[in-house]
Amino acid sequence: MAPTQAKHSSQDLLQAQVDLWHHALGFVKSMALKCAMEMQIPNTIQHHGGAMTPSELATAIGLHQSKLPRLRRLMRVLTVSGIFVVHESASADKEAVYGLTPTTCLLVSDEVKSNLFPILSLMLDSTVITPFFGMKSWFHDEDSTSLFKKIHGLTFWEMADQDETYNQLINNAMVSDSNFLMDIILRECSDVFTGISSLVDVAGGLGGAARAIANAFPQIKCTVLDLPHVVADAPTDDHVPFIAGDMFEYIPPANALFLKWIFHDWGDEDCVKILKKCKEAIPSRDAGGKVIIVDMVVGSGPNDIVTRETQVFFDLFIMYLEGIEREEFEWKKIFMEAGFSEYKIISVLGVRSVIELYP
């Protein structure tokens, strides 16, 4: 058999090497972003008028000037990958000037409704990253323990229950995602909420999504259902009441149910159980009953490489806690098994979609 080198041109081989290196070094982008977030670089640049030289940035974040060349190397990675931008310099020494991009603006704490800093902090936390180093042995392990539990000895949710700091990290992440996404959902998918008189946000956490819906549609009576320990920490709200309960046992009746980023935490069997409880809680389709799901439909949405890669990356990522992102045929299977008759996918949320599900 001819050696590999004899089958391909030198340029093909060199490009293949670049592809492999680029793939293997992908973690460098994540760690560079994590470092920049922890050093508060986006906020620092924002608070200094949106443009800073390396020297100014180093001084502002408290770095010794000996670290300046290394800071430039960090920022070069982050500018090449589109996190920051380099502006033309008007100074004689032509020192670079770093500025924010639309991407970085989502990490600036001043922009509360669109600030994704908390959820990125959770995704890049060491407790989440570390389990992936044990993926190979986990695949060979016949035990059904999650990747997270195999490494940490606790499930993701058990750790949150036992560690208040970690629980707060998770809560902040979910709130930031709701604040960001709900504003877009209510702008792009307002028709979904037309004609609804009552709505239960199932497993709605601290009620951010329900409050956003209630504010946008005052005629809808919104309620939040979640576990007792979650409801105990929920803010008092006269307009959005909270009900302590388990969605696997009972869901309060309403015209419509709202489930944002819930199903990807559960396997098919549990999803069918949840959906059957949903079906019991809503009226017929003729009477306006429906379930509104916000989740990922792998393969739906913009047909570009970044979106497609992000969907399958996130599917593998959420495997660490035994979660799953589904393609349309997988969604259809659990919908039909739960006794629903029809659904509609609205793909206007980037990597995620809104699904209207009818009994």
- Tokens representing residue 308 in the block: 């497609």
Provide, rounded to the nearest whole percent, the portion of the chain with pLDDT above 90.
Answer: 79
Section 299-309 average pLDDT? 94
Q: CA 257 to CA 251: how far, in whole Å?
A: 9
Contact, 115 vs 176, CB < 8 A? yes
Whether residue 72 contacts residue 84, with contact meaning beta carbons closer than 8 Å, is answered with no
Encode the chain in three state secondary structure. Answer: CCCHHHHCCHHHHHHHHHHHHHHHCHHHHHHHHHHHHHCCHHHHHHHCCCEECHHHHHHHCCCCHHHHHHHHHHHHHHHHCCCEEEECCCCCCCCCEEEECHHHHCCCCCCHHHCCHHHHHHHCCHHHHHHHHHHHHHHHCCCCCCHHHHHHCCCHHHHHHHCHHHHHHHHHHHHHHHHHHHHHHHHHCHHHHCCCCEEEEECCCCCHHHHHHHHHCCCCEEEEEECHHHHHCCCCCCCCCEEECCCCCCCCCCCEEEEECCHHHCCHHHHHHHHHHHHHHCCCCCCCCEEEEEECEECCCCCCHHHHHHHHHHHHHHHHHCCCCEEHHHHHHHHHHCCCCEEEEEEEECCEEEEEEEC
What mean pLDDT is predicted for residues 295-306?
Answer: 95
Average pLDDT, the chain: 92
Query: Which amino acid appears at position 351 of this protein?
Result: V
Q: What is the reported pLDDT for 17? A: 95
pLDDT of 90 strictly over 60: no
Has residue 350 got a pLDDT over 50?
Answer: yes
Residue 91, both tokens: 């100074």
The residue with tokens 């977030």 is 37
Band the pLDDT of 282: cuts 50, 70, 90: very high
Catalytic residues: 264
Query: CA-to-CA distance for 129 and 152, rounded, in angstroms?
Result: 12
Give 294's strand partners: 260, 354
Question: Cα(216)–Cα(241) distance, rounded to whole angstroms?
Answer: 17
What pLDDT, in 10s, does the model give residues 93-113? 678 899 999 999 899 866 556
Check whether 11 has a pLDDT greater than 50. yes
Range name among 4-18, 122-136, 186-200, 343-357 with the lowest pLDDT average: 4-18
Cα separation, 119 vs 102, whole angstroms:
17
Return the structure tokens found at 56.
């100014």
Structure tokens at 359: 């009994």
pLDDT tens digits, residue range 264-278? Answer: 999 999 999 999 999
Residue 1 has pLDDT above 50, yes or no: no
Query: What pLDDT does 89 receive?
Result: 67
Distance CA 44, CA 60 (A): 7
Mean pLDDT, residues 222-246 taken together: 89
Q: What pLDDT was estimated at residue 46?
A: 93
Average pLDDT, stretch 4-29?
A: 90
pLDDT confidence tier of residue 3, bands split at 50, 70 and 90:
low
> Is 91's pLDDT higher than 80?
no
The 10s digit of each residue's pLDDT in 188-199 is: 999 999 999 999
Task: Kindly tell me if the per-residue pLDDT of 337 is higher than 50.
Answer: yes
State residue 171's pLDDT score: 84
Are 276 and 340 spatial neighbours (Cβ–Cβ below 8 Å)?
no
Confidence of residue 125 (pLDDT cuts 50, 70, 90): very high
pLDDT of 186: 94
Query: Residue 326: what pLDDT?
Result: 97
Task: Quickly state the pLDDT bin for 205 (edges 50, 70, 90).
Answer: confident
In the predicted structure, residue 71 carries a pLDDT above the cut 80: yes
